[in-house]
A = this chain, B = another copy of it.
């Protein structure tokens, strides 16, 4: 089966453990070469984080377990790339036209 190369996750998490710990823990999962945690919105109790994970063969379940172990919830999977080669998404004309 083709390996997973990128995951973009919408994560909801309490303020502690920190985004530093989250990025560090996810970057240590098998098949992951790097993780980016970007703050989208912050609230009194929780914060909403976009987590981008890249690697040669990401263990998706292990990533999701690591997030849950750190008290986070995966709200949605926004982008997935699979295969021998990284493929980026494409804009199409419908994206820039008003509905």
Chain A residues at the B interface, C-beta cutoff of 8 Å: 1-2, 4-5, 7-8, 18-20, 22-28, 32-42, 50, 52-54, 60, 76-90, 92-96
A20 contacts B83, C-beta separation under 8 Å: no
Q: Considering only CB atoms, which chain B residue lies closest to A33 in the complex?
A: B85
CB distance from A65 to the nearest CB of B (A): 14
Minimal Cβ-Cβ distance residue in B for A79: B38
Measured between beta carbons, the chain B residues less than 8 angstroms from A7 are 20
Tell me which of B32, B42, B50, B76 contacts A83 (CB under 8 A): B32
A92 contacts B8, C-beta separation under 8 Å: yes
* Contact partners of A2 in chain B: CB under 8 A: 23-25, 27-28, 34-35
